[in-house]
């Protein structure tokens, strides 16, 4: 159908020529017309070749997005809730137990965050000796910001004699773990398991806290008060303690009976005049009975400023 117009034209020309020619001439004209017709039909139709497409410089076609499954990680909705401090604990570290003895470990913790800790928060086992506990415990009550509460777990002394330590942390409802203090420290409990009929109970730890009154200035008299925190590993029928000062002064004797593993506090004051600022000073707690034991010293310097 593409060559219809040229073919008709040639036939018309051939007819006109035949009309004015002889037989031999007609045959020649017909042959010529047929040849021209065949040549016209055989000639390929010209094709339009597109020019080369220039390199694409703009944005390409928009592709349908490919869905890739992702794991949703908590974004930190509780980021401001993970600030805590340990105020006290019981029983103290170093407490001596008979094998299999059950006991309640209690940490008195303050909520220093901006959130209320609800019962979705947990105490979780972190490391060390589990001592028969579960892996996690929900908080027993809500703890508003700035408030403190006792957080306790039930533990049991192992059956084999030795020293044991278990570490714990807290966990927010969205699974973020945190500890206590500036360094996000773990909570822990350390116990001693003894098979002796009469274990050697005694003092396991002595730490100090020092306060100055007034905190600054140079009054006629400045009062320092040392507070000793003394932990006992179990009942002691009689124990005698005493404070010593670096200037040779000894305090009155402290006589007491310890009925169970506990931590006790003892205060020792020391007053300085504004001229008594020479050299470093210290206060030290010692045990006089049942055996003589010197514990670490509390070192300080009085500065009149």
pLDDT of residue 76: 56
Mean pLDDT over the full length of the chain: 82
Q: Do domains 80-193 and 203-300 have the same CATH topology?
A: yes
* pLDDT bucket at 137, cuts 50 / 70 / 90: very high
User: What count of other Cβ atoms lies within 10 Å of the Cβ of residue 302?
Assistant: 17
Alpha-carbon distance of 190 to 229, in angstroms, equals: 17
Residue located via tokens 């390409």: 60
80-193: which CATH topology?
A: Immunoglobulin-like (2.60.40)
Judge whether residue 7 has pLDDT over 60.
Answer: no
CB 214 within 8 A of CB 223: no
If phi > 0 it is left, if psi is from -120 to 50 it is alpha, else beta; for residue 140 that is alpha
Q: Which residue has the higher pLDDT, 267 or 15?
A: 267
Asked whether the predicted pLDDT for residue 156 surpasses 90, the reply is: yes
0.85 exceeded by pTM: no
Q: Quick one: average pLDDT of 257-278?
A: 91
pLDDT one-digit tens code per residue, 268-300:
999 998 877 778 999 999 999 999 999 999 999
Q: Where are the domains of the chain?
A: 4-42, 80-193, 203-300
Domain 203-300, second-level architecture: Sandwich (2.60)
Q: Distance (Å, rounded) from C-alpha 187 to C-alpha 123? A: 10
Rounded to a whole number, what is the distance in angstroms from the first to the last CA of the chain?
A: 116
pLDDT category, 243, cuts 50, 70, 90? Answer: very high
Q: For residue range 184-202, list pLDDT tens digits in order.
A: 999 999 999 999 998 999 9
Position 218 scores a pLDDT of 84
């Amino acid at each position: 159908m593409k060559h219809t117009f040229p073919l008709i034209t040639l036939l018309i020309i051939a007819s006109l020529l035949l009309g004015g020619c002889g037989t031999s001439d007609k045959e020649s004209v017909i042959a010529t017309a047929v040849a021209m017709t065949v040549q016209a039909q055989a000639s390929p139709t010209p094709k339009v070749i597109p020019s080369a497409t220039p390199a694409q410089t703009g944005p390409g076609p928009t592709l349908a997005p490919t869905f890739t499954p992702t794991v949703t990680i908590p974004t930190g909705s509780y980021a401001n809730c993970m600030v805590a401090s340990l105020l006290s604990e019981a029983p103290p570290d170093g407490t001596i137990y008979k094998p299999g003895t059950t006991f309640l470990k209690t940490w008195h913790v303050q909520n220093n965050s901006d959130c209320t800790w609800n019962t979705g928060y947990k105490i979780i086992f972190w490391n060390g000796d589990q001592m028969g506990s579960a892996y996690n415990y929900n908080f027993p009550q809500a703890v508003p910001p700035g408030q403190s509460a006792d957080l306790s777990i039930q533990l049991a002394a192992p059956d084999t004699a030795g020293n044991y330590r278990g570490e714990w942390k807290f966990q927010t409802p969205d699974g973020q773990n945190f500890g206590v203090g500036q360094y996000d420290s773990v909570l822990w409990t350390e116990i001693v398991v003894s098979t002796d009929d009469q274990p050697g109970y005694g003092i396991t730890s002595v730490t100090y806290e020092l306060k100055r009154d007034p905190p600054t200035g140079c009054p006629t008299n400045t009062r320092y008060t040392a507070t000793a925190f003394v932990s006992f590993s179990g009942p002691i029928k009689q124990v005698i303690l005493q404070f010593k000062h670096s200037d040779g002064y000894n305090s009155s004797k402290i006589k007491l009976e310890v009925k169970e593993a506990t931590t006790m506090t003892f205060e020792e004051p020391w007053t300085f005049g504004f001229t008594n600022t020479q050299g470093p000073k210290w206060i030290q707690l010692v045990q006089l009975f049942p055996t003589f034991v010197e514990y670490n010293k509390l070192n300080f310097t009085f500065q009149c400023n």
